[in-house]
Amino acid sequence: MSHPYPLCGVSRRSHFNIRTADSRNFLPKSGNNSREIHPKLPDAHPVRLGYNPSVMFDKLFQLGEKPYDTEDAEWDAFVATHPQGSILQTTNWARLKGRFGWSGQRVWLKKNGKLVAGAQILFRSAVFGMLKMAYIPHGPLVDWNDEEQVEVLLNQIDYAVWQRGAGILKIEPLLWQEEMPPEQWQAICERYGLLPETDTIQPPRTILVDLRPSEDEILAAMKQKTRYNIRLAARKGVTVRKGNETDIPVFVRMMQITGQRDGFGVHDPMYYKVAYELFAPSQAALFIAEYEKRPLAAVMVFTIGRKAAYFYGASTNEERQRMPTYAVQWAAMQWAKERGCATYDLWGIPDAPPEQLEAEFTERNDGLWGVYRFKRGFGGHIRRTVGAADRVYNRHVHRLYRWWRGRQQR
């Protein structure tokens, strides 16, 4: 019987159309509740002496290299409307990471001709090639309460990871603890052989500002001092304009100044340039606060569906008393609201309970504590994801990964 989707297979065990970047039908079986996953390879696909699936697969599929097509558009539309959708699961995010040492692959499931679940997987090697890991930022996108859907998707992910020869997979679903309590997430991890006690790459705790009320109501929900600083910036002659690609060098210089001043790492200058080129103007914008035409602060904001997120922000050491950082952040929120976004993600605060955050933020400046003092002023609600979980295919690689991450975090 012909199938309407090229490169798709129909699973014998489910109602889903399944797809990886490989055209073979495959539904591997992974052992549940196992600390080391061993995908079962189909008889039709033996691993022959001299056959390197990783090399073959890299040639078959690279999200960062192939032209944007209708399949990419279909995937991005799915991500934009999925409850757990994130800019980190879009095609262009894989392209961005592909310019800086990662490669990407997409796996998805269809039911009745429509995408219902999937994952965009990033792959990277480290420690002189001894550590090869797979990573799904803010994914996979799946109904975690649908056992069949989760099992089929994880099996396909297993196969993709095997194809690339990775020994560990890290997932970080954008799944809020309000919707998935810790004990329920723990049970899911045990059922599917995931290890939830692991490090996170994306900050699990953040502040979401509700953009659905009027601007006056949004301002009223802010801390009094933040509201005052926004208005003070305007009185002191600070203006905010929407930037373009010619402003990226200015933004990069401000990022470097901010990193040196506040003691955090910044990306390669080309990273910000490529990010802007890939996402602007449809999904990103750069805002610059100025005084007498001198740039003082800037933010780069991204949108997906009805969600906006503040990824990168910077400021100079000049005219800080004019509060340019407050003015530029408010301008970005206004822009996101005009675009129909319902939430504005301030992207990352210390991973501590709200009571501890309020008790200690005036005394601490380590890690994300310094930015929490600023971000809390914009109101919003503190939310936490379920965090990260590891799927281990090789215990030795997993131990190497933990050692490597430990050195990075010193």
- When the pLDDT of each residue in the chain is averaged and rounded to a whole number, the result is 86
Order of strands, sheet of 307-315, starting from the edge strand that comes earlier in the sequence: 238-242, 284-291, 294-304, 307-315, 343-345, 205-210, 381-384
Residues present in the chain in total = 410
pLDDT interval class at 125 (50, 70, 90): confident
- 3-class secondary structure, 23: coil
Please tell me if the domain spanning 9-199+386-408 has the same topology as the one spanning 205-384. yes
The gap from C-alpha 347 to its chain's centroid, in whole angstroms, comes to 10
- pLDDT greater at residue 66 or residue 329: 329
pLDDT tens for 213-270 read 999 999 999 999 999 999 999 999 999 999 999 999 999 999 999 999 988 889 999 9
Q: How many Å apart are CA 408 and CA 404, to the nearest integer?
A: 6
| Domain definitions of the chain by residue range | 9-199+386-408, 205-384
pLDDT tens for 10-37 read 232 344 455 554 322 223 333 343 356 6
Query: Hey, what CATH class is 9-199+386-408 in?
Result: alpha beta
pLDDT at 39: 57
pLDDT at 263: 84
Record: fold of 205-384: Aminopeptidase (3.40.630)
